[in-house]
Amino acid sequence: MTLAGAQIRQSFIDFFVERGHTIVPSAPLVPGGDATLLFTNAGMVQFKDVFLGTDNRPYTRAVNSQKCMRVSGKHNDLDEVGRDNTHHTFFEMLGNWSFGDYYKQEALAWYWELLTEVWKLPKDRLWATYFKDELNSIPDDNEAKETWLAQPGFNPDHLIGYGRKDNFWEMAETGPCGPCSEVHYDFGPEACRLKDDPNHICHVNAGCGRWTELGNNVFIQYNRLSADMLVPLPQKHVDTGMGLERIVSVIQGVNGNYETDLLSPLLDCVQELAGQSDHDRANNLTPYRVIADHVRAASFLISDGVIPGNIGRNYVCRMIIRRAARFARKLNLIEPFMAKVAEVVVENYGEAYPELRRNRNTILETITREEKRFSETLDSATAQLNLILDDDDVKSKGIINGEAAFELYATLGMPLEITRDIARESNINVDEEGFKNALEQHRIASGAGKAFGEMLKTDPEVYQSIFRDLVDAGKLSKDGVFYDPYSRISVNGPVLALIKEGQPVVKVYPKDKVEILLPETCFYIESGGQVSDTGLIISDDEGKWKIKVMDVFKPAAGVIVHIGEVIEGSPEIGEIAKAEVDAPRRIDIMRNHTATHLLHAELHKVLGDHARQAGSLVAPDRLRFDFNHPKPISKTELLKIEKLVNKAILSNYELNIVIKPLQQAINEGAMALFGEKYGATVRTITIGKDEDLSYELCGGTHVDETGDIGLFLITYEGSIAAGVRRIEAVTGFRAYEIARQRMNTLDQVAQSLTCAAHEVTDKVDTLLNHQNELQKEIKILRGQLAKDNFADVLQNPLTVMGISVIATSLPNADVDTLRSLTDMFKQKFDSGVVVLGSVLDEKPLFVAAITPDLIKLGLHAGQLIKAVATEVDGSGGGKPEMAQAGGKNPKKMSEALDKVIPYIKANLKQV
Ligand SMILES: [Zn+2]
Ligand SMILES: [Zn+2]
């Protein structure tokens, strides 16, 4: 019986657990505390700091199955996905690690045992590689070589040495590195795609399809200081990686990853939805694979808090859902269907990755929403693109320009990747550089370009050398500056280092901007949305000097600096200082932080479990909370949330803060936040008698009891991106101040209205009604007044070329009044022209009327009114017998009316 994919994953973990390894759960796809990486792309990402020596773990052997995404940067497999049977955007990587514990002999022997004894792969199909330096300057890895040769049943002819490109691993240009050793599986000579090519030499790494790499053991034993300088590391590490999909395909003996039981159920689901035969499926494998891969990736991304959007990770999530939707059209799948495929993902993977089950509804809803949104524009985007592809210029040059591709994205939501897919089907490329430029310009124009704040100018090397010197001198422990913002708000200690303009100095002077390092600190460093503390560092020698602290941060392992300005005296290294947090500000921050936890909990209660945190700011004067929710929050819901938070405050619950193992907290249902990095042990904050009210992992500072928060008021609710809402709120004194201000305003209004505060709304309604009545009356009176005035004017018309003409202005008449006055004119004169102007609300307006007999003779009210309106910077028009116009400049009223007679003279034909 063949092993199922899930069993193979589990047997890998069990195998290493039996050999003393700790199971470390997969890190989220969003790497914690690493802004340089878009997605976790290998098992070692969460252990990078151990290899760099900046952190350590309570265990020395670890094993896991890591969720990985490779869709950007150096590892970008997106283009290949679907075209063959092996590439993915999302995949799982099985890994085992030794941190300064076992080394090559154990690692390779275990790999051999696992592959041949546990998974029963035939020994004569396995090949191994080891490092053999082609430049002869780094020692060959003879230890790996000897270890392979010692394995029972290993064929010595199946061991090959390769050089730096294939068998030497480096994290970056400098830093940890070392030789590696791969295991390859041989499918036999018949699998060679180039067997008919007389020039082909068939061997491992020849890229002919005969061999596939099963796994890699990296032995981290050197630190690279420069291009030609390697020094041995005191602690040697093992880092391994094995693609789960690939090993499963080999063990299950199927033709590629998409035929394993990990992925074939997803393809089956697509087939059923498309109603296709097995034959159709075999002829359409590309869309099947793309949909399976992309829906699986999107499901994992969404369960890790990444929702579709326009930049970075969110863009990737959007792009893969849209790309799958576009490939679905090739199978005539038009209606939203991906949630059905995602259900299979949750079903298939939920046991190994419980976060999929926990977020099932959010995954299904988010995918469907994005699918629907795109289906609204997909057809017009495709039609538009086909027009571009049909253009002769594009055809002859073979390339679509970047602005056109950007336009498709900006107006119709067509991601570049899809434009590229479609264009390639007609053998046309897209100018991706041009696309990026257009995108960049658009971002700058929309003000989104300035994403990064002012960077600190000090070189990281300065901090590292200060740190080394202080540790060597015994002034600082190896663990670095002791950080405890929880138990006190003031500490004493000697000034260990001062940095001014990026350079270490021994003394600083008034008005200097400085970074100051003490052996310990009680200042909170911005994290988890909570802002840094501010405060003072003063000389312990009463009043000798004083530094105002504006910020605190951790620029390097072990180093914490306070950033501030000298406001008095001249601090010197070695002097005893007292660091004091600005206490009232900190207490306001703590109120807002605990209130944020309560708000998060009540949002779940009122809106549902999908309302997860997407961003947060905890400042002294307010809190801001962003969360996933697809639609606006009703006033009733908002008031309910606010009321529940206040209820929890008044219940005066004690906060229970406990440090415990990460896995225990997750199993207990603690809310973890994405993009946060958690160690093996975590700080947990529980609020409420039962753990149901709020249970979060959090490194922030909090009040002792919820009653300390005081009043909680929501001041804003709105949308910040598709599917993401924002709530802003205030607590404590700030809430009191806002409430007091509003009450004062209400009191003032009541006083002006001479009524009680609770009567204000009724009174205002009455006043507004009354005002409406008055306005109607004014209108009638004005009309009457204008008519009276006009009656006099009607007695004395001008005579121009034998016809009666009135061109005059009347005060405060609206358009309706002017029109009715022109009727009066027409009743009195059988033949004539009338143009009436008025200024209402400081804007000139005109109405013109001409009797029908004169229209036959060449006059036109519309043309006449245009000539008039031009004088007052206005415009207008209308029919030959009646027209109206408005303008901007009331001062030119009489000049405008002066245009009437010349118009008549120029246009009226004599009979
Ligand atoms: Zn070959
Ligand atoms: Zn928190």
pLDDT single digits (tens) 375-425:
888 888 898 999 999 988 888 889 999 989 988 888 888 899 899 989 988
pLDDT tens for residues 120-169?
Answer: 999 999 999 999 999 989 999 999 999 999 999 999 999 999 999 999 99
Q: How far apart are CA 484 and CA 552, in angstroms?
A: 13
Side chain identity, residue 62? A
CA of 624 to the centre of ligand 2 (A): 12
Exposed/middle/buried for 557, CB within 10 Å: 0-12, 13-18, 19+? middle
Q: Which residues 6+ apart lie within 8 Å of 499 measured at CB?
A: 458, 462, 466, 505, 514, 515, 516, 517, 561
* 271 DSSP β-pair partners: none
| Distances from the Cα of 606 to the Cα of 599, 603, 629, 640, 772, angstroms | 10, 5, 12, 8, 42
Higher pLDDT, 710 or 669: 710
In our burial notation (b when 16+ CB lie closer than 10 A, e otherwise), range 626-641 reads: bbbbeeebeeeeeebb
Q: Residue 188: nearest ligand to its CA?
A: 1
- What 8-state DSSP symbol labels residue 909? P
Does 372 have pLDDT greater than 70? yes
Q: How far apart are CA 562 and CA 536, in angstroms?
A: 10
CA of 651 to the centre of ligand 1 (A): 73
Instruction: Please compute the mean of the pLDDT values over residues 658-673 and round it to a whole number.
Output: 81
CA of 444 to the centre of ligand 1 (A): 51
CA of 200 to the centre of ligand 1 (A): 7
CA of 199 to the centre of ligand 1 (A): 10
β-strands 843-850, 832-840: how paired? antiparallel
Return the minimum-mean-pLDDT range out of 114-128, 159-173, 286-300.
159-173
Q: Residue 193: nearest ligand to its CA?
A: 1
| Residue 281 token pair | 């499926």
Q: Residue 209: nearest ligand to its CA?
A: 1
Instruction: Tell me the three state secondary structure of residue 586.
Output: helix
Q: How far apart are CA 281 and CA 271, in angstroms?
A: 7
Q: Which residues 6+ apart lie within 8 Å of 555 measured at CB?
A: 456, 458, 460, 463, 561
Short-list 447, 450, 443, CA closest to 409: 443
Q: Residue 207: nearest ligand to its CA?
A: 1
Instruction: Tell me the three state secondary structure of residue 769.
Output: helix
* 126 DSSP β-pair partners: 185
| pLDDT bucket at 453, cuts 50 / 70 / 90 | very low
Q: Residue 700: nearest ligand to its CA?
A: 2
Quote the distance between the C-alpha of residue 92 and its chain's center: 24
**Torsion sign (Cα): 346, 348, 351, 352:** negative
pLDDT tens for residues 808-858?
Answer: 998 888 888 899 999 999 999 989 999 999 998 889 999 999 999 999 999
E-assigned strand segments in 227-320? 229-243
| Residue 838 token pair | 């008025």
CA of 373 to the centre of ligand 2 (A): 34
Q: Residue 197: nearest ligand to its CA?
A: 1
CA of 84 to the centre of ligand 1 (A): 18
Contact 5, 260 (CB under 8 A): yes
Side chain identity, residue 126? L
Q: Residue 204: nearest ligand to its CA?
A: 1
* 847 DSSP β-pair partners: 836, 884
The pLDDT assigned to 455 comes to: 33
Query: What is the Rg, in whole angstroms, of the alpha carbon atoms belonging to the chain?
Result: 38
CA of 166 to the centre of ligand 1 (A): 18
Contact 65, 352 (CB under 8 A): yes
Higher pLDDT, 428 or 73: 428
| Residue 552 token pair | 């605190």
The pLDDT assigned to 445 comes to: 58
Contact 572, 506 (CB under 8 A): yes
Instruction: Please compute the mean of the pLDDT values over residues 26-48 and round it to a whole number.
Output: 83
The pLDDT assigned to 33 comes to: 65
Instruction: Please compute the mean of the pLDDT values over residues 304-332 and round it to a whole number.
Output: 88
CA of 696 to the centre of ligand 2 (A): 7
Contact 654, 705 (CB under 8 A): yes
| Residue 108 token pair | 């390779």
CA of 681 to the centre of ligand 2 (A): 16
Task: Give the HSE-up count for residue 21: Cα atoms under 13 Å, Cβ half-sphere.
Answer: 25
CA of 743 to the centre of ligand 1 (A): 84
Q: How far apart are CA 603 and CA 611, in angstroms?
A: 6
CA of 190 to the centre of ligand 1 (A): 9
* 613 DSSP β-pair partners: 627
* 162 DSSP β-pair partners: 131
CA of 211 to the centre of ligand 1 (A): 8
CA of 264 to the centre of ligand 1 (A): 28
Q: What percent of the chain has pLDDT over 70?
A: 96
CA of 704 to the centre of ligand 2 (A): 14
H helix runs in 150-193, sequence order: 164-167
| pLDDT bucket at 674, cuts 50 / 70 / 90 | low
The pLDDT assigned to 448 comes to: 39
CA of 212 to the centre of ligand 1 (A): 11
Contact 30, 287 (CB under 8 A): no
Contact 442, 408 (CB under 8 A): no
CA of 187 to the centre of ligand 1 (A): 10
**Which residue has 């977020």 as its token pair?**
359
Instruction: Tell me the three state secondary structure of residue 594.
Output: helix
Tell me how many degrees the CA angle 288-294-299 measures, rounded to the nearest 5: 125
**Phi, psi torsion values for 824, nearest 5 degrees:** -55, -40
The pLDDT assigned to 450 comes to: 29
Q: How far apart are CA 381 and CA 532, in angstroms?
A: 47
**Which residue has 């699918």 as its token pair?**
371
**Torsion sign (Cα): 486, 490, 494, 499:** positive
Q: Residue 598: nearest ligand to its CA?
A: 2
| pLDDT bucket at 174, cuts 50 / 70 / 90 | confident
